């Protein structure tokens, strides 16, 4: 083989390698974009709070597939926030008997935080769900933000006092207050019958931290003394 023929072979080899390289770059770029797209749809947080005394454990279905593979959402036990894909619909809540009692076809907004409350009584035909966005502007330095949701079954209107000062007044069933700013510190929240000194529940030694957002919510049935008794809890939204 002559030197000229060897040179021609080397040139063809280099051209072939270069062409393969040009084809590979778009493929790598495309894979990179695909892998980055998945986390972008998983930045929405959802917290499920089942406080219906007689609906019993429930499941979340997303895109017609059961989402919680290992556990149910039990009465009075918040799921705590978990990340989920906002692109899959519908969102459904189903009982253990696979009865769908809540469905949403609209996708949740990206980069948002939500709580889904399940409340009311099946026996009274008042079982219901409502979705709440857990977002607000940041409080001023040295302060936190608190809101109140009256979510207990068979409830009357309620007032909330923070260290003896009225914070929320005359809040009816499923009423969602705005966030209010209060100085960071330790609080005793009293949940009262509206316009009355009757205290239904005292939530003592609650720490409100600088820059945090909180929700106080009620659950259960006024007058009951079993596991479905009237109660109040505090969750941190941010």
* Domain positions in the chain: 1-40, 42-135, 139-238
Residue 58: closest CA among 92, 20, 90: 92
Reported as a pLDDT band with limits 50, 70 and 90, residue 84 is confident
Please tell me the class of the 139-238 domain: mainly beta
User: Could you name the CATH architecture of 42-135?
Assistant: Sandwich (2.60)
Residues 6+ apart with CB under 8 A from 14: none
Q: Is the pLDDT of residue 25 over 60?
A: no
- Mean pLDDT to the nearest integer, 111-138: 95
Q: Is the separation of the CB atoms in 110 and 91 below 8 Å?
A: no
Q: Is the pLDDT of residue 86 over 90?
A: no
Mean pLDDT of the chain: 85
**Among the ranges 11-20, 84-93, 154-163, which has the highest mean pLDDT value?**
154-163
């Amino acid at each position: 083989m002559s030197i000229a023929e060897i040179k021609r072979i080397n040139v063809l080899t280099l051209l072939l390698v270069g062409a393969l390289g040009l084809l590979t770059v778009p493929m790598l770029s495309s894979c990179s974009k695909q892998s980055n797209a998945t986390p972008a749809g998983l930045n929405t947080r959802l917290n499920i709070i089942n406080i219906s005394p007689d609906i019993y454990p429930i499941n979340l279905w997303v895109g017609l597939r059961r989402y919680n593979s290992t556990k149910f959402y039990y009465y009075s036990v918040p799921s705590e926030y978990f990340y989920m894909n906002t692109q899959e619909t519908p969102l459904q809540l189903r009982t253990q008997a696979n009865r769908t009692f809540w469905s949403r076809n609209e996708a949740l907004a990206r980069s948002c935080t939500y709580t889904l409350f399940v409340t009311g009584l099946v026996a009274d035909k008042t079982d219901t769900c409502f979705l709440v966005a857990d977002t607000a502007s940041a409080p001023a330095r040295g302060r936190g933000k608190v809101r109140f949701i009256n979510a207990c079954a068979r409830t009357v209107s309620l007032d909330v006092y923070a260290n003896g000062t009225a914070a929320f007044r005359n809040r009816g069933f499923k009423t969602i207050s705005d966030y209010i700013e209060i100085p960071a510190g330790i609080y005793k929240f009293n949940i009262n019958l509206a316009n009355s000194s009757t205290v239904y529940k005292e939530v003592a030694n609650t720490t409100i931290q600088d820059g945090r957002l909180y929700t106080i919510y009620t659950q259960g049935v006024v007058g009951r003394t079993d596991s479905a008794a009237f109660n109040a809890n505090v969750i941190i939204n941010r």
